[in-house]
Amino acid sequence: MSFRVPFVIAIDGPAASGKSTVAKGVARALDCVFVNSGEMYRAFTWWVLENGIDPNNADAVITLLNETSFACGEEEMIGYVEIQGRRLSDEQLKNDAINSSVSAIAAIPEVRERLVEEQRGFARFPALVMEGRDIGTVVFADTPYKFFVDASPEIRAARRSAEGIEDSIEARDLADSMRKASPLKQATDAIRIDTSEMGPDEVVAVVVDSISLNKEAA
Ligand code: DC
């Protein structure tokens, strides 16, 4: 298969919908760089908390943002972000404190503008799978390959608690969907996949098959 360059697959959806697992599987199957855009919002949230700033104090958050450096790259086909020259561990990015503050930070338009710019920088790689909340609606709105991955609230809550992480996903999804700046929503031209009754391999196959069909039809 040959694709236009950059070739971007956008995978959006709510928390614990299975989008990360699917995005990673699709990236592996199609030899793309995998980027988790949520990690960027989490990394900046870590930095806000590290600096003792209240996530609800938008002015203070924006002042810090303007003094903060980001550097994005790829290692073994996985995208990463460095904040002030530091790469953060999974434990630093995924914990109760970050989970309960990240939506407030991600709702600040200036924060989104800056991180969207960093996310678009990944287009220097020829093929990408990027997952998040606004990849198909904002970050790479022009890509023809868009998926919205969802699952029932019960299944999502069960998946998150199986990971052993405290995360009020309902509150986070509500905040992410209600915010004014690029809220979580399905792009009108995205294919919706309900993963409640599906295994990860099945979902990856649906995405890969639909891209192949779409490509043949083009
Ligand atoms: O994908 P995640 O759950 O790790 O994302 C963490 C938070 O970051 C999520 O609650 C909302 C925000 N986010 C966003 O606003 N836009 C994105 N493209 C990705 C994440």
Ligand 1 contacts CB of residue 103 (under 6 A): yes
Ligand 1 centroid from CA 1, angstroms: 31
* Interval 21-32: pLDDT, tens: 999 999 999 999
Q: At 214, is the pLDDT very low, low, confident or very high (cuts 50, 70, 90)? A: low
- Specify the range with the lowest mean pLDDT, choosing from 149-153, 171-175, 184-188, 211-215: 211-215
DSSP labels, 79-107: EEEEETTBPPPHHHHSSHHHHHHHHHHHT
- Specify the range with the lowest mean pLDDT, choosing from 38-52, 138-152, 161-175: 161-175
Helix (H) or strand (E) holding 146: strand 145-150
Query: Of 169, 149, 171, which is closest to residue 159 (Cα–Cα)?
Result: 169
Region 56-75: mean pLDDT is: 97
Helix (H) or strand (E) holding 127: strand 127-132
Ligand 1 contacts CB of residue 134 (under 6 A): yes
Region 151-158: mean pLDDT is: 89
What is the pairing mode between strands 78-83 and 70-75?
Answer: antiparallel
Distances (CA, A) of 183 to 39, 46, 63, 150, 180: 17, 21, 23, 15, 6
Smallest CA separation from ligand 1 atom 3, residue: 15
Reported pTM? 0.93
Query: Of 134, 148, 135, which is closest to residue 194 (Cα–Cα)?
Result: 148
With 60 as the cut, is the pLDDT of residue 83 above it?
yes
Ligand 1 contacts CB of residue 167 (under 6 A): no
Residue 165 confidence (pLDDT): 67
With 90 as the cut, is the pLDDT of residue 169 above it?
no
Q: List strands edge to edge, sheet with 145-150.
A: 70-75, 78-83, 33-36, 127-132, 7-12, 145-150, 191-194
Q: Calculate helix-pair angle for 200-217, 19-30, nearest 10 degrees.
A: 50
- Give me the residue spans of the domains in the chain: 12-217
Q: Which fold has domain 12-217?
A: Rossmann fold (3.40.50)
For Cα atoms 138, 57, 69, give the angle at the middle one, nearest 5 degrees. 60
Task: Check if the beta carbon of residue 107 is closer than 8 Å to that of residue 179.
Answer: yes
